[in-house]
Amino acid sequence: MQNKPPEWPEEIFAVLRTREITQICHVPDAGHDRLIRLCNAQNDMSVTTLTTEEEGVGIVAGAWLGGRRGVLLMQSSGVGNTINALALPAACRMPFLTIVTMRGEWGEGNPWQVPMGQGAPGALEAMGVTLFRVDRTEEMADIVNAAAAQAFNNMCSVAVLISQRLIGAKGFK
């Protein structure tokens, strides 16, 4: 039996298009791979590959100042890299949207992913980021749309946490 790839990357992509989000920042991540490829295929979307997630906070802020909307795609292990940078959108009352694929949760096989996977929600909340969590694929589009609306309408920081159950558990060898 062949596994059908999940449809949620396409659902997120559709929300990004509807919300006119054209600056996409990411550190390479298998969980976001299909979404990144969809964005890369668009001439009107700028996709920036980062060396560290904190760079994305500044680029998304700069995109806003330049009249564009952006999103930072990252894995939960990268949340810790953004903590100091998250002061920028908070202090300047800029919208900030991030979509985080969670690790260290359901069926995790890599012990290095567990601490930050468990700590990511608390770290984001400590920096004033509002959290939305997706545990079921049928919720994806509605939750991402609501998160984007909140970030851009209220000039605040919002994170969508995608359950590891949706991206799949990974082994460690």
Q: What is the pLDDT of residues 31-47, one digit of tens each?
A: 899 999 999 999 999 99
How many angstroms separate the Cα of 161 from the Cα of each of 3, 4, 65?
24, 22, 26
Beta strand 69-75 with 46-49 is unpaired
* % the chain with pLDDT above 70: 90
7: confidence class by pLDDT, cuts 50, 70, 90: confident
> What pLDDT does 159 receive?
98
Q: Are 135 and 163 contacting, i.e. CB atoms less than 8 angstroms apart?
A: yes
The answer, yes or no, to whether residue 18 has pLDDT greater than 60, is: yes
Average pLDDT over residues 3-14: 83
Which superfamily does CATH assign the domain made up of 12-166 to? Answer: Thiamin diphosphate (ThDP)-binding fold, Pyr/PP domains (3.40.50.970)
User: Would you state the pLDDT for residue 1?
Assistant: 42
The answer on pLDDT for 6 being more than 80 is no
Q: How confident is the model at residue 5 (pLDDT cuts 50, 70, 90)?
A: low
CB 103 within 8 Å of CB 76 = yes
Q: Roughly how many angstroms between the first and final C-alpha of the chain, as a whole number?
A: 25
**Selection from 32, 142, 53 nearest residue 96 by Cα:** 53
Average of per-residue pLDDT across 57-85: 96
The pLDDT of residue 137 is 92
Nearest alpha carbon to residue 35 among 101, 132, 86: 101
